[in-house]
């Protein structure tokens, strides 16, 4: 019996997807704790496979996994990369090295290594304390992007155009936290995208990494970001000519080599600029929603493939670009605190030509605090014959799909998914 340890928490795939993907390969052994995301799922995970609890301590976890005889280890969560690397090292299993994980998780260290390797020379600065702000902003210049050195989903990520704006944000993020609770922030030179409308000015690349080299999935295009950096969905294939596509994948390969990645699946975001492709960031796991796309478009499961790679089975050939346009449109909720009261127009959206599925991401009655992070309300997936048809379908979704929000001041407002594209950003408070 093949056993695969899955170090589990919030990530690119959920428990059901993991079970579906691992089924043909082996039995899962879930490694997790009573975290905000995993805690409520522990009874379900226990029904799906063995569960090893992190609360018992690292050495006990190592011993239990050894006793169970796990043959491979994987994770689909950014937060669990370091722990997975430690466990893999102790158990003699294949995974990213600890050095590579640190580079993948820490954006400041990642940029430093890319500079040292001559891959890119982006101006960056590290902010440990509000007192660091004047020197860092002077060195990096404006406009710039302020973001956590470790984060996901554009959490606490802001475009800084004014020194005072940046100082206030840094003070809010770092002014009260102390010791290990104080986060580290990075200020990065802002990469100006070339005109790409109506498409977004960046793309994503999923890469299968083995000792034999890097094999890239067809490049995924993007819908335009909502301010400041909230994602709104993906488009496959991306609108790139062959020369530009080769430049993107060459940049990704050189970055992965510089970071020491030799196994697993990675997700890299690349900005399209007038001077060519530039790296936004490299992530040490598959991208969110990518597994859905792989199953629907290419007929294979990335979870299954990740397990095969962890077991040392490295033979895989990238599929060709699809001959139709596949898209996932994901409306993002307001940055203000809200409670979702109701969603209207779902059936009408499902009946639109080209729409293949609708999936809610936030249920009626759920609340969210103020945040500039990407937080999708739902996903509308579709397949059409042209990009023009795709944008027309999205326009129709924008009119039909509506949400009733209650905001912090008590008012209830109905906004369509089209309205959310221009919904004003107000100052956020903790």
pLDDT in single tens digits along all 430 residues of the chain: 899 999 999 998 988 899 999 999 999 999 999 898 899 999 989 999 999 999 999 999 999 999 999 999 999 999 999 999 999 999 999 999 999 999 999 999 999 999 999 999 999 999 999 999 999 999 999 999 999 998 777 888 999 999 999 999 999 999 766 666 689 999 999 999 999 999 999 999 999 999 889 999 999 999 999 999 999 999 999 999 999 999 999 999 999 999 999 999 999 999 999 999 999 999 999 998 899 989 999 999 999 999 999 999 878 889 999 999 999 999 999 999 999 999 999 999 999 999 999 999 999 999 999 999 999 999 999 999 999 999 999 999 999 999 999 998 899 999 999 999 988 776 554 3
* pLDDT on residue 151: 78
Burial class (CB in 10 A: 0-12, 13-18, 19+), 306: buried
Sheet holding 264-273, edge to edge: 213-216, 202-210, 264-273, 276-283
* pLDDT on residue 180: 65
* pLDDT on residue 179: 65
* Domains within the chain, CATH numbers bracketed: 3-95 (3.40.50.20), 123-189 (3.30.1490.20), 193-323 (3.30.470.20), 326-421 (3.90.1170)
Full-model pTM: 0.94
Strand partners, 384: 325
**Which of 288, 282, 287, 286 lies closest to 106 in space, CA to CA?**
282
């Amino acid at each position: 019996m093949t056993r695969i340890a899955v170090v589990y928490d919030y990530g690119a795939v959920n428990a059901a997807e993991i079970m579906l993907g691992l089924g043909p390969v082996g039995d899962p052994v879930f490694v997790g704790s009573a975290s905000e995301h995993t805690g409520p799922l522990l009874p379900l995970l226990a029904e799906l496979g063995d569960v090893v609890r992190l609360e018992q301590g690292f050495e006990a976890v190592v011993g239990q996994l050894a006793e169970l005889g796990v043959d491979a280890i994987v994770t689909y969560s950014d937060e669990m990369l370091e722990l997975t690397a430690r466990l893999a090292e102790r158990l003699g299993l294949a995974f990213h090295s600890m050095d590579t994980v640190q580079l993948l998780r820490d954006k400041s260290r990642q940029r430093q290594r890319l500079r040292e390797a001559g891959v890119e020379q982006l101006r960056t600065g590290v902010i440990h304390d509000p007192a660091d702000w004047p020197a860092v902003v002077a060195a990096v210049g404006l406009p710039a992007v302020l973001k956590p050195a470790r984060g996901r989903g554009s959490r606490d990520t802001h475009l800084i155009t004014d020194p005072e704006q940046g100082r206030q944000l840094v003070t809010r993020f770092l002014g009260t936290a102390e010791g290990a609770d104080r986060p580290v922030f990075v200020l990065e030179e802002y990469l100006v995208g070339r005109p790409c409308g109506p498409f977004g000015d960046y793309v994503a690349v999923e890469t299968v990494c083995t000792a034999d080299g890097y094999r890239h999935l067809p490049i995924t295009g993007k819908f335009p970001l909502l301010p400041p950096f909230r994602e709104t969905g993906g488009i496959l294939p991306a609108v790139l000519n062959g020369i530009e596509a080769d430049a993107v994948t060459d940049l990704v390969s050189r970055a992965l080599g510089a970071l020491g990645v030799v196994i697993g699946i990675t997700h890299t975001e690349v900005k399209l600029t007038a001077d060519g492709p530039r790296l936004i960031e490299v992530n040490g796991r598959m991208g969110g929603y990518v597994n859905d796309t792989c199953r629907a478009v290419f007929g294979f499961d990335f979870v299954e493939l990740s397990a095969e790679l962890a077991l040392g089975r490295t033979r895989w050939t990238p599929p060709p670009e699809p001959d139709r346009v596949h898209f996932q449109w994901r409306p993002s909720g307001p940055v203000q605190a809200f409670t979702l009261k109701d969603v209207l127009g779902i059936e009408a959206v499902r009946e639109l030509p080209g729409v293949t599925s609708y999936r809610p991401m936030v249920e009626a009655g759920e609340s969210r605090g103020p945040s500039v992070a990407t937080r999708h309300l739902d996903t509308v997936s579709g397949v059409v014959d042209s990009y023009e048809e795709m944008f027309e379908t999205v326009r129709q979704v924008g009119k039909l799909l509506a949400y009733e929000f209650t905001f912090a001041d008590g008012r209830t407002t109905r906004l369509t998914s089209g309205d959310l594209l221009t919904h004003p950003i107000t100052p956020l408070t903790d």
